[in-house]
Structure 1
């Protein structure tokens, strides 16, 4: 097994992010299928251990954001990386196109109400970042669908500058209150995305994953690349870093995500919960009571 070296994928504001220089494929960090499965299983146990410790401590929560273009592998990554984690301590939220109710609120509302409780991990499959990504590529959404006051959309550049500011403030506020955020951009190449979309068409059991709109969105590939580069540079902070994970190899991607999560969970200042000797002694007296029932 090779070194994970996750720091090279981390962006926290200390260096500019250039999307054209970010790899979509790196050397395998596993030798074969059995080693991949072993590493994935060991990672899941580590994630579960640290999440359980955080749950018992009950002072911190973690928000994990997954952003990517279509077919990059968000669903599969979440499913594989968190397999084996106690479901009582993890919540997954998939954010689709905003509903009428959601459009009647500000752009952070639907994500804000799903933030984690103390001790919990909230996983966002897409997130409030859609509001500075999709809307940046398709600004007509802002003027035609989002019911914003007319003057708000008079200066689109100003609007996005304000949204980035609000996101930074929100993530800083959450961090100060015990809720760090870690963000993943699963970086897939245009060629690999095309192959995955075609496989969804050719394989009948994958047809449900395919939407005709995915093909239309490929016309805006360069616009999305620019939008992600701007977004990451605007919002990458030490307390809320972005990890740009090469996504052309799904197995590599999952292992890298798993290792990042372990390292980020380790940083949360949570100690093992130990009972004191008096309480331990008192609890022992309940054993014969239970046995007698």
Structure 2
């Protein structure tokens, strides 16, 4: 996602897809350290915060932590995500040096741009399915999945669509559910249902593919065929966010523009 401008604030590291911002704090204030319960050994913090998604960010950070000297200290979700009725997220990562904090945030942002391709939205909800071949400590801490095993997450909003997608997913392949979230369990009353599964990589991949297909098909009963959030700007124009337009409105405008241009060409 392109930046509208680059802030001068020293805390700013960068942005990524899914309305994600990456920040870094060196020598954190003592009162803030106490509020956030940051252990004394961590002199710097890396922060990943978004308005859309959680799983894409979690997998991206899990990959980054494997390669960087940092540790997940705090994870929270919040009701957010606007029209897509899902969640936003906050990850706080501890590092002993400022350079380590910056490195883990930079690597996470890079990874988020990749993993967010699997978040699909339309004007009323969203569908996502993700697979990682080897879960690390971050995914274990958040979702309880075994370290080193394949891990997948499938879910959708509204929550009913998510239940149907998860049900079809786990029927399609021999996988085990190790975590789930519903409006009253793990998701802080968010209108979403999601499950994390583990198993053989081929089985996890098949389950996620079936879940994604089911969720996207059901969401089309409520609106347009869901679009990857990475493709929204291409489908809807670069001013999509500034104009606060839904994908459906964007596609209607695009179709109308094509019709007008075609008519003008015919009249010439």
Question: Is the TM-score greater than 0.5?
Answer: no
Larger radius of gyration: 1
TM, length-normalised to structure 2: 0.29
Tell me which protein shows more strand as a share of its residues.
Answer: 2
